[in-house]
Amino acid sequence: MMIPDHTLAEITDRLDMVDVVSGYVTLKRRGNRYWGLCPFHTEKTPSFSITPDKSVYYCFGCHQGGSLYTFIMETEKLDFVEAVRFLARLAGIELELEQRDSSRRDAYLELYRRVSGSLHFLLSSHARATAARNYLMSRGVSQDTLNCFQLGYAPSDGRWLFDFLIEKSYSREFLLDCGLFLQDRQGSPRPLFRDRVIFPIRNSRQEIIAFGGRNLSDYGPKYLNTPETSFFRKGENLFGPPGALKRIRETNSFILVEGYMDVLALYQGGIDSCVAPLGTAVSVGQFKLLKRYSRIGILLFDGDEAGIRATERAINLGEQQGMVIEVVSLPENVDPADIIEKEGAETLKKSLKYPINGFQFLLNSALSRYDYKTPDGKQGIFGFLNSYIATVESQVRRDGYLRVLAEKLQVDYESARSDFINRENRVYKTDVVESPWAETLGGLSTDLFLVFAVAANRDQFSRLRVQLSVEDFEDTRADS
Band of the pLDDT at 178, cuts 50, 70, 90?
Answer: very high
Using one digit for the tens of pLDDT, what is the confidence trace for 269-286? Answer: 999 999 999 977 899 999
Using one digit for the tens of pLDDT, what is the confidence trace for 366-410? Answer: 999 999 999 999 999 988 998 899 888 888 999 999 999 999 999
Q: How far apart are CA 219 and CA 424, in angstroms?
A: 47
Phi, psi of 27 (to 5 degrees): -110, 145
Band of the pLDDT at 430, cuts 50, 70, 90?
Answer: very low
Q: Is pLDDT above 80 for 476?
A: no
Arithmetic mean of pLDDT, 247-275: 95
Q: How far apart are CA 88 and CA 85, in angstroms?
A: 5
pLDDT of 55 reads 85
Q: First CA to last CA across the chain, in angstroms?
A: 46
Among 224-238, 284-298, 392-406, 420-434, the range scoring the smallest mean pLDDT is 420-434
Q: Are 106 and 4 in contact (CB under 8 A)?
A: no
Alpha helix ranges (H) inside 252-283: 260-268
- Give residue 204's Cα distance to chain centre: 14
3-state secondary structure of 247: helix
CATH numbers and ranges of domains, the chain: 5-99 (3.90.580.10), 101-231 (3.90.980.10), 244-361 (3.40.1360.10), 364-479 (no CATH)
Band of the pLDDT at 188, cuts 50, 70, 90?
Answer: confident
Q: Are 111 and 165 in contact (CB under 8 A)?
A: yes
Using one digit for the tens of pLDDT, what is the confidence trace for 66-87? Answer: 999 999 999 888 888 888 988 9
Higher pLDDT, 449 or 168: 168
Phi, psi of 461 (to 5 degrees): -60, -45
Higher pLDDT, 7 or 71: 71
pLDDT of 79 reads 82
State what percent of residues in the chain have pLDDT above 90: 56
pLDDT of 434 reads 41
Q: How far apart are CA 286 and CA 415, in angstroms?
A: 37
Q: Is pLDDT above 60 for 470?
A: no
Band of the pLDDT at 433, cuts 50, 70, 90?
Answer: very low
Q: Is pLDDT above 80 for 166?
A: yes
Q: How far apart are CA 87 and CA 8, in angstroms?
A: 10
Using one digit for the tens of pLDDT, what is the confidence trace for 440-462? Answer: 444 445 555 556 555 555 555 55
pLDDT of 157 reads 83
CA angle 442, 447, 453 (to 5 degrees): 70
Q: How far apart are CA 313 and CA 391, in angstroms?
A: 13
Alpha helix ranges (H) inside 102-167: 102-125, 130-138, 143-148, 160-167
Q: Are 334 and 303 in contact (CB under 8 A)?
A: yes
Q: Are 263 and 239 in contact (CB under 8 A)?
A: yes
Note the pTM of the prediction, 2 decimals.
0.75
Consecutive H or E run containing 208: strand 208-215
